[in-house]
Structure 1
Amino acid sequence: MIDGTTRVFTWEEGARIEVRDLGGEVVIEANAAGLRALASHLLTLAQDGTPDGAHLHLEENNGLEEGSVGLVLERCDYE
């Protein structure tokens, strides 16, 4: 729940996402289902009424493949 509004982050069956830090750039590697899941997560954060600072943590074995570095998707409306 974000600011009294429920946001649902959905996953497609078979989604595979791996995040690697190559020391200067980050690689997000995903199959088609994983890319659709990431797009859905970003669209959820972009919904009207979602407050600044709302975020989603993706970690190894919690949305990301084993060996991945953590990834935080966060809404930031202010500079």
Structure 2
Amino acid sequence: MTDGTTRVFTWEEGARIEVRNLGGEIVIEANAAGLKTLAGHLLTLAQDGTPDGAHLHLEEGNGLEEGSVGLVLERCEDE
């Protein structure tokens, strides 16, 4: 919940997501369920009424595969 706005982030059954930092680029590797999960998370953050700064942390053991680097999905309306 952010500023009184509740957003529900759901996970597809069998979702697998790995995030790697290769120095000059970030690789997000996921199976189909993982890609659908990430798409759903982004659509949730894009919903009308979602305030600036609303975000979701994904980390190893919290949504991401072992060995992944952390990933933050955040809404920001500033240019």
- Per the TM superposition, whether the score is higher than 0.5 is yes
Partner amino acid, structure 1, of 2:17: I
Identity value in percent: 89
Per the normalisation by structure 2, the TM-score is 0.98
Please list every run of at least 4 consecutive aligned residues from structure 1 whose deviation after the TM superposition is greater than 4 angstroms.
none
Give the secondary structure class of the aligned counterpart of 1:29.
Answer: strand
Give me the whole-angstrom Cα distance separating, in 2, the residues matched to 1:38 and 1:2: 20
Partner amino acid, structure 2, of 1:76: C
Specify the alignment match of 2:62 in structure 1. Answer: 62
Q: How large is the RMSD of aligned CA atoms in angstroms?
A: 0.5
Give me the whole-angstrom Cα distance separating, in 2, the residues matched to 1:60 and 1:27: 15
Structure 1 residues without counterparts, runs of 5 or longer: none
Per the normalisation by structure 1, the TM-score is 0.98
Give me the whole-angstrom Cα distance separating, in 1, the residues matched to 2:63 and 2:40: 13
Give the secondary structure class of the aligned counterpart of 2:29.
Answer: strand
Specify the alignment match of 1:29 in structure 2. Answer: 29
Give me the whole-angstrom Cα distance separating, in 1, the residues matched to 2:2 and 2:14: 27
Structure 2 residues without counterparts, runs of 5 or longer: none
